[in-house]
Amino acid sequence: MHTPLCCFATLFTLLLIPPFAKAEEVREHFPEKIVITVVDEAGKPITHANGFHDFRRYVRFTVDEHGVFEIPIAEYKERWQTATPPSDVTIRAEGYGPFLASFRRDPIPPDTFTVVLKPAQKIGTLVVEDKGNPVEGVGVSLLVTPETAYKTRVWTGIQTKTNADGKWSIFELPATSSQVHISFEKEEYQPTSVTLPTARLNPDAAGQYNEKIVLEADLSRNNPIFLSSLEFLENPVPVADSKASAEAEMKPYTETIPGTEVTFKMVPIKGGKFLMGSPENEQGRKADEGPRHEVEIKPFWMEEHETTRLEFEQFALYYLRRNRKDMAPPTARERVADAFVAPTNPWGTSEIYVNRGKPGYPATSMTIYAAQAYCKWLTIMTGRYYRLPTEAEWEYACRAGSESAYSFGNDAGKINDVAWYFGNSDGQVQKVKQKQPNAWGLYDMHGNVAEWVLEQYAADTYENRKPEMFGAPVKALIVRVGVDVTAGHIVRGGHFENESPDLRSAKRLRANETGTWNANEVGYPYSIWWLTDAPFVGFRIVRPLEPPKTEEEAKLYEPDPEVWHWYHIMNPRGD
Instruction: State the SS3 of 314-350.
Output: HHHCCHHHHHHHHCCCCCHHHHHHHHCCCCCCCCCCC
Please name the residue ranges forming H helices in 292-420: 309-316, 319-323, 332-339, 351-354, 368-382, 391-399
Domain membership of residue 62 (yes or no) is yes
275 lies in the same domain as 347: yes
What pLDDT score does 159 carry?
56
Q: What is the CATH number of the domain that holds 379?
A: 3.90.1580.10
The Cα 281–Cα 285 span in angstroms is: 8
Domain membership of residue 353 (yes or no) is yes
- Residue 542 identity: V
Burial 463-482 (b: 16+ CB within 10 A, else e): eebeeeebeebbebebbbbb
Pick from 98, 91, 160, 183: nearest CA to 482: 183
For residues 321 and 275, which has the higher predicted lDDT (pLDDT)? Answer: 275
Domain membership of residue 575 (yes or no) is no
Q: Mean per-residue pLDDT for 344-350?
A: 62
Domain encompassing residue 34: 1-118
Q: Mean per-residue pLDDT for 95-124?
A: 69
**Average model confidence (pLDDT) for the chain?**
78
pTM comes to 0.69
Domain C-terminal end among 118, 139, 164:
118
Domain C-terminal end among 218, 252, 280:
218
Q: Among 356-370, 460-474, 476-490, whose mean pLDDT is lowest?
A: 476-490
Q: How confident is the model at residue 260 (pLDDT cuts 50, 70, 90)?
A: confident
Q: Mean per-residue pLDDT for 450-463?
A: 90
Q: Among 110-124, 138-152, 185-199, whose mean pLDDT is lowest?
A: 138-152
pLDDT at residue 255 is higher than 50: yes
61 lies in the same domain as 153: no
Pick from 264, 246, 536: nearest CA to 375: 264
376 lies in the same domain as 461: yes
pLDDT at residue 252 is higher than 50: yes
Question: How big is the CA angle at 360 (ends 359 and 366), to the nearest 5 degrees?
Answer: 95
The Cα 458–Cα 464 span in angstroms is: 10
Q: 3-state DSSP call for residue 480?
A: strand
Please name the residue ranges forming H helices in 417-511: 461-464
What pLDDT score does 23 carry?
34
Q: How confident is the model at residue 253 (pLDDT cuts 50, 70, 90)?
A: very high
What pLDDT score does 398 carry?
98
pLDDT at residue 292 is higher than 90: yes
**What is the total count of domains within the chain?**
3
Q: What is the CATH number of the domain that holds 90?
A: 2.60.40.1120
pLDDT at residue 204 is higher than 60: no
What pLDDT score does 232 carry?
94
The DSSP 8-state label assigned to residue 237 in this structure reads P
446 lies in the same domain as 316: yes
Torsion of CA 345, 348, 351, 352, to 10 degrees: 0
8 lies in the same domain as 128: no
Per residue in 531-569, pLDDT (tens digit) is 888 999 999 999 999 999 999 899 889 998 888 877 776
Counting Cβ atoms within 10 Å, is residue 95 exposed (0-12), middle (13-18) or buried (19+)?
middle
Domain membership of residue 363 (yes or no) is yes
Per residue in 395-440, pLDDT (tens digit) is 999 999 999 999 999 999 999 999 999 999 999 999 999 999 999 9
Per residue in 478-506, pLDDT (tens digit) is 444 445 666 678 999 999 999 999 999 99
Contacts of 518 (CB under 8 A, 6+ apart): 85, 484, 486, 512, 526, 527, 531, 532, 533, 534
350 lies in the same domain as 495: yes
Domain membership of residue 231 (yes or no) is no
Q: What is the DSSP string of 22-36?
A: PHHHHHHT--S-EEE
pLDDT at residue 10 is higher than 60: no
Domain membership of residue 223 (yes or no) is no
455 lies in the same domain as 564: yes
126 lies in the same domain as 33: no
User: Are the C-beta atoms of residues 165 and 134 closer than 8 Å to each other?
Assistant: yes
Q: At what angle do helices 368-382 and 561-570 cross, to 10 degrees?
A: 120
Domain membership of residue 336 (yes or no) is yes
According to DSSP, the residues that pair with 108 across neighbouring strands are 21
User: Are the C-beta atoms of residues 498 and 422 closer than 8 Å to each other?
Assistant: yes
Per residue in 126-185, pLDDT (tens digit) is 788 888 888 888 877 666 555 443 333 344 445 567 888 888 776 655 445 556 667 777
Domain membership of residue 226 (yes or no) is no
What pLDDT score does 514 carry?
74
